[in-house]
Amino acid sequence: MSEIVVLEDEAAVARELAERFVTAARETLAERPSFAVALTGGSTPGPAYRMLAAAPYRERVEWSRVRFFFGDERCVPPNDPDSNYRLAHDTMLGPLEIPPEHIFRLHGEDDPSEAAAAYARTLREQLGEPLAFDLLLLGMGPDGHTASLFPGYQLYKENAALVRPTIAPSYMKVAHRLTLTPHVLNAARRVVLATAGAGKAEILAQVLEGPYDPTRYPVQIVRPEHGAMTWIVDRAAAERLSSAVRV
């Protein structure tokens, strides 16, 4: 079961995302030595990352105990403007001076199959068993994709692979991608998916209220096995939802 939080605008979505991050970090660190978070790319999370790196959020997290991972990456070098790592670095990791040994990025500059295999090894080494993020951040594209799982992705042909190279449809800017598989996404202890704007209204209604068809709407495959999933959306994105869901 997922929780759907509808807020006024994109700024409120960013604030809520930052709040959820802080709460998840504090609750986890009260019980365990480190907090493992998988970051997302796209345009929605940047403002939240910037908030986290500034007062008052900055002081509320013990950053030295946070380990950063990525849910997906574009196959570009880390300093490329399209790199998800670069977005996170410029908005949050750099300003917070997170040491490189606490940042585990997908190597978009390497051969995609090798990069996927290398990241799977990194996840096994760093997370151990159960291989579960404490917090997984996601977004949703206007076609219903999440991470880099695009419509038509052979979701049901997955074996136990943790990370895969994928090809984005031609309407996306960077075709070659690396993505965590549903297997890993659904093991997360908490999932927070933020999306905003009128351009997401139609797809959000289809995804949340339409039939279950994850080959068409890959984000529907995200159903954490043991954790909770929260959608944080703004009023514009929620416009087509029935009032029952909109409360």
Name the residues that contact ligand 6PG, by CB under 6 A: 40-44, 72, 84, 139-141, 145-147, 195
First-to-final CA distance of the chain: 15
Nearest to 46 by CA among 100, 92, 93, 97: 92
Residue 32 C-beta: closest distance to ligand 6PG, Å: 26
Report d(CA 3, CA 36) in Å as an integer: 22
Q: C-beta of 142: minimal distance to ligand 6PG in Å? A: 8
Give the integer Cα–Cα distance in Å for 188 and 182: 10
Q: State in angstroms the smallest separation of the CB of 180 from ligand 6PG.
A: 10
- 140 vs 204, beta carbon nearer ligand 6PG: 140
List b or e across 142-179, with b for residues whose CB sees 16 or more CB atoms inside 10 angstroms. ebbbbbbbbeebeeeeeeeebbbbbebeeeeeeeebbb
Beta-bridged to residue 163, according to DSSP, are: 180
- The nearest distance, CB 132 to ligand 6PG, in angstroms, is 19
Q: Is 57 helix (H, G, I), strand (E, B) or coil?
A: coil
- Nearer to ligand 6PG (CB atom), residue 27 or residue 143: 143
Which residue, 177 or 189, is less far from ligand 6PG as judged by CB? 177
| C-alpha torsion 141→143→147→152, nearest 10 | -170
Q: How far is the CB of 200 from ligand 6PG (least distance, A)?
A: 7
Amino acid at 101: E
Q: Which residue lies nearer to ligand 6PG by CB, 92 or 147?
A: 147
Cβ-based nearer residue to ligand 6PG, 139 or 214: 139
Cis peptide bond prior to 56, omega within 30° of 0: yes
Q: Which is nearer to ligand 6PG, 95 or 142 (CB)?
A: 142
**Angstrom distance (rounded) from CA 68 to CA 142:** 26
- Closest CB to ligand 6PG among 38 and 241? 38
Distance CA 63, CA 160 (A): 32
Minimum gap (Å) between residue 84 Cβ and ligand 6PG: 5
Taking the complex as a whole, the smallest distance from the CB of residue 20 to ligand 6PG amounts, in Å, to 16
